[in-house]
Amino acid sequence: MYTIRELAFPGTAEEALSLLRKGRNNVILGGGCWLALGRRRYGVGIDLSRLGLDAIRREGDELVLGGSATLRALEKNGDACALFGGILSHCVRPIVGVQLRSRATVGGSVYARFGFSDPLTALLCLDCTVELAGEGTVPLEVFAARPAVERDIVTGVRIRIEDRATAMETMRLTATDLPILTAAVSRLGKDWRVVVGARPGRPVRVPGVEAALAHGASPAQAGRLAAEGLTFGSDLRAGREYRALLAETLVARCAARVEQEVSR
Ligand SMILES: Cc1cc2nc3c(=O)[nH]c(=O)nc-3n(C[C@H](O)[C@H](O)[C@H](O)COP(=O)(O)OP(=O)(O)OC[C@H]3O[C@@H](n4cnc5c(N)ncnc54)[C@H](O)[C@@H]3O)c2cc1C
């Protein structure tokens, strides 16, 4: 369990950011689920609950996920269920249980950029930007590739509302365990997006597979290309070769489901 010397409840994002940057040992508190697994001692724990960032709402042609919105809110939200083939709601359902999903936040999940992240895999196959209190708006793909060390605050994620067909598949050794592979595919016209995560490295798009699909590759070919084009690693949960095999299978399945959806 982590400890904090002092708890702060800033009223604005600017105040929260200035507190964060005031001490190297100060920390933003999301749902605290992942922080709770560590044993670190922090200075000021910065609680974001007074910033009004817990909403999921439409704004013009975008769906905006507040940084403090919980994964459970994402799972149950009407727009998250209805838009993008429901991938935003679907992607969080295998994560542990309702109690954890009711605490873990969108901001904590995006900021942490875990290799195994289900939400990051799903979001990367949509057209998204991350809103940071200090830096402003950054494409999710750019943010996802950076080391998780910047002293900034994820205030929200913006997703362009478009009629993208989507599919996502994950493999877990047991229900509710961390995934050993995640795959998501989406298509809007000729624009395909293919994302693979839990390799066990971070979720990444696979441009070669996206281009192949746009030029008429079959789902089976797309799966093979994904397995050949990515690097995989071994850990306690799965070996490199097994992960490559899973990538081939899950990408092929997702691409086939997306094709079916588009031809309906
Ligand atoms: C037992 C367990 C199993 C899990 N299984 C899965 C799984 O299968 N799939 C999956 O995708 N995820 C899984 N997770 C991760 C979980 O879904 C959340 O991503 C994780 O708990 C972080 O969210 P949080 O709100 O709890 O963040 P916290 O634990 O509060 O914070 C995590 C990090 O992010 C920082 N942070 C938090 N919020 C912000 C913000 N708004 N801006 C900037 N920095 C911020 C914190 O300072 C900290 O460094 C699991 C977590 C646990 C504890």
pTM above 0.95, yes or no: yes
Decide which of 110, 131, 160 is a domain's last residue: 160
Measure Cα distances from 71 to 99, 100, 133, 219 in Å: 10, 8, 21, 30
**Alpha carbon distance 48, 46 (integer Å):** 6
Range of 217's domain?
A: 172-263
Residue 202 token pair: 């971070």
- Exposure letters 28-51 (e unless 16+ CB within 10 A, then b): bbbbbbebeeeeeebbbbbbbeeb
Helices within the chain (DSSP H only): 13-22, 71-76, 78-82, 87-92, 98-101, 106-112, 118-124, 140-145, 207-214, 219-229, 240-263
The CATH number given to whatever domain includes residue 247 is 3.30.390.50
How many degrees, rounded to 5, is the angle at CA 63 between CA 72 and CA 211?
A: 100
**Ligand 1 contact, 85 CB (< 6 A):** no
Cβ-proximal residues to 246 (8 Å cutoff; 6+ apart), any chain: 171, 180, 181, 238
DSSP one-letter code for 218: -
Distance from C-alpha of 227 to C-alpha of 89, rounded to nearest angstrom: 27
Q: How much distance in Å is there from the Cα of 12 to the middle of ligand 1?
A: 22
Strand 41-47 versus strand 27-29 pairing type: parallel
Cβ neighbours for 32, distance < 8 A, ≥ 6 positions apart? 103
Alpha-carbon span 120 to 87, nearest angstrom: 11
Q: Are residues 11 and 85 in the same domain?
A: no
Q: Determine the distance separating the centroid of ligand 1 and the alpha carbon of 176, expressed in angstroms.
A: 15
Same domain, 63 and 155: yes
Are 61 and 24 contained in the same domain? no
Shared domain for 149 and 63, answered yes or no, is: yes
Whether 211 lines ligand 1, by a CB cut-off of 6 Å, is no
Whether residues 72 and 139 fall in one domain: yes
Same domain? For 77 and 103 the reply is: yes
For ligand 1, say whether the CB of 84 is within 6 Å of any of its atoms. Answer: no
Do 224 and 259 fall within a single domain? yes
Residues 68 and 154 in one domain: yes
Q: How far is the CA of 112 from the centre of ligand 1 (A)?
A: 6
User: How many domains does the chain contain in total?
Assistant: 3
pLDDT per position in the chain (264 positions), as tens?
Answer: 889 999 999 999 999 999 999 999 999 999 999 999 999 999 999 999 999 999 999 999 999 999 999 999 999 999 999 999 999 999 999 999 999 999 999 999 999 999 999 999 999 999 999 999 999 999 999 999 999 888 999 999 999 999 999 999 999 999 999 999 999 999 999 999 999 999 999 999 999 999 999 999 999 999 999 999 999 999 999 999 999 999 999 999 999 999 999 998
Looking at the CA of residue 70, tell me the nearest atom of ligand 1.
Answer: 25
Find out whether the beta carbon of 168 lies less than 6 Å from any atom of ligand 1: no
Mutate to test the pocket of ligand 1, among 34, 39, 74 (most ligand atoms within 8 A of CB): 34
Question: Does 61 lie in the same domain as 104?
Answer: yes
